[in-house]
C-alpha cells in the first residue's frame, strides 16, 4: 500500500474580503499564513506557526519526499493625495538562503509527536482570529497562541513558543536558512522515514522586526551589489515579515515490520 500526499499551508486572508480566492462563495483562503505586523519584543513571545502537518496511523511509515519553505517580506504604502485611506501592499519572497532583518529572523522545525491526550486549551473570554489556533493536536495551518495578536504585546504563543514534539530527522529539528525554497524542484528525494502512530508537523518561529526602531540605513550605499531583500528594505523602510508557509510532499506506506 502506498498513498501519495501533499500538505501545504493555506489560511484565511483578510485582504481578499469582497473578492474571494476561488469560485466557491465565501472562500477567503490563500497560500501561506499571515504574519502579524506587531513587533516581537521578547524571545519567548516569538510568533509560532504550524505550517503543515499529517497524522501517520499505526502500522504506517510516512516517507517524506521533499520539504518547501515560503517566506515573504512586505510593506504598505499610502495611495496618492486625496485617497490617504487607501493602501497599496507590496511583497517579495525571501530567496537569499541566510537573509534576515537586522532585528528579526525565522527558524524552521520538523517535529514528530505522539500525543497521549489532546493538547487543546480553552480560553472562553478571548476571540481568536480565523488564522489562529489554541490547539496543538490538529493538522490545520495556523498561528498557535494562548492569547491572540490583536494589539501590540498581547500575543502569547502556545507551549511557551516551542514547537511540539521531538526531532523527526537529525539536522531538521531546527534550521535557520531557506534551504528548501518553494520554487525548488519537487523531486528533492529526502526520503526521510517516520513511523506511526505519530503527528508529523513542520513549524516556524518568527521574531517580527520593528521598523520604527530598526537601525537606520547608511547615508551612502552602492545598491548594485545588494540582494533583492536588502533593496526592498531600503526602498520600503516599513518592511516586515508578512507571510509564511510550508509544504510537505510524502508517501504513506504500509510498515511491513508491523505485520
pLDDT at 219 > cutoff 80: no
Residue identified by cell 531557506 is 178
| Cα atoms in the 13 Å half-sphere on the side-chain side of 59 | 3
| CA-to-CA dists, residue 154 to 46, 65, 253, angstroms | 12, 38, 43
The C-alpha angle 163, 37, 52, rounded to 5 degrees, equals 35
Residues 6+ apart with CB under 8 A from 242: 34, 35, 37, 72, 73, 74, 89, 91
Please report the pLDDT score of residue 124 as a whole number: 52
Q: What is the pLDDT of residues 50-105, one digit of tens each?
A: 999 999 999 999 999 999 999 999 999 887 765 666 788 899 999 999 999 999 99
Binned at pLDDT 50, 70 and 90, residue 128 comes out as confident
How sure is the predictor about 117, in pLDDT bands with cuts at 50, 70 and 90? very low
Place of cell 480560553: 123
Of the candidates 28, 66, 106, the one whose C-alpha atom is nearest the C-alpha of residue 247 is 66
Dihedral sign, Cα of residue 28, residue 32, residue 36, residue 37: negative
pTM equals: 0.91
Per-residue pLDDT at 250: 94
Which residue, 95, 106, 104, is CA-closest to 231? 95
Per-residue pLDDT band for 207 (boundaries 50, 70, 90) equals very high
pLDDT in tens, 150-163: 999 899 999 999 99
Amino acid at each position: 500500500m502506498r498513498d501519495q500526499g501533499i500538505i501545504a499551508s493555506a489560511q484565511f486572508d483578510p485582504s481578499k474580503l469582497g473578492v474571494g480566492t476561488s469560485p466557491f462563495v465565501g472562500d477567503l483562503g490563500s497560500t501561506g499564513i499571515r504574519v502579524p505586523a506587531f513587533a516581537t519584543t521578547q524571545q519567548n513571545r516569538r510568533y509560532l506557526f504550524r505550517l503543515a502537518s499529517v497524522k501517520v496511523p499505526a502500522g504506517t511509515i510516512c516517507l517524506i519526499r521533499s520539504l518547501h519553505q515560503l517566506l515573504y517580506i512586505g510593506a504598505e504604502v499610502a495611495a496618492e493625495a486625496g485617497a490617504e485611506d487607501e493602501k497599496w501592499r507590496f511583497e517579495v519572497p525571501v530567496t537569499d538562503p541566510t537573509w534576515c532583518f537586522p532585528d528579526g529572523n525565522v527558524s524552521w522545525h520538523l517535529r514528530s509527536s505522539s500525543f497521549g491526550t489532546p493538547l487543546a486549551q480553552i480560553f472562553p473570554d478571548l476571540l481568536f482570529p480565523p488564522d489562529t489556533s489554541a490547539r496543538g493536536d490538529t493538522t490545520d495551518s495556523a498561528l498557535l497562541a494562548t492569547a491572540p495578536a490583536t494589539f501590540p504585546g498581547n500575543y502569547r504563543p502556545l507551549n511557551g513558543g516551542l514547537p511540539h514534539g521531538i526531532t523527526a530527522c537529525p539536522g531538521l529539528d531546527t534550521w535557520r536558512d531557506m534551504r528548501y525554497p518553494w520554487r525548488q524542484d519537487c523531486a528533492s528525494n529526502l526520503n526521510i522515514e517516520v513511523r506511526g502512530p505519530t503527528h508529523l508537523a513542520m513549524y516556524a518561529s518568527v521574531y517580527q522586526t520593528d521598523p520604527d526602531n530598526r537601525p537606520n540605513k547608511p547615508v551612502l550605499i552602492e545598491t548594485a551589489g545588494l540582494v533583492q531583500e536588502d533593496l526592498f528594505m531600503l526602498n520600503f523602510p516599513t518592511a516586515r515579515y508578512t507571510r509564511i508557509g510550508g509544504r510537505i510532499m510524502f508517501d504513506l506506506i504500509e510498515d511491513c515490520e508491523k505485520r
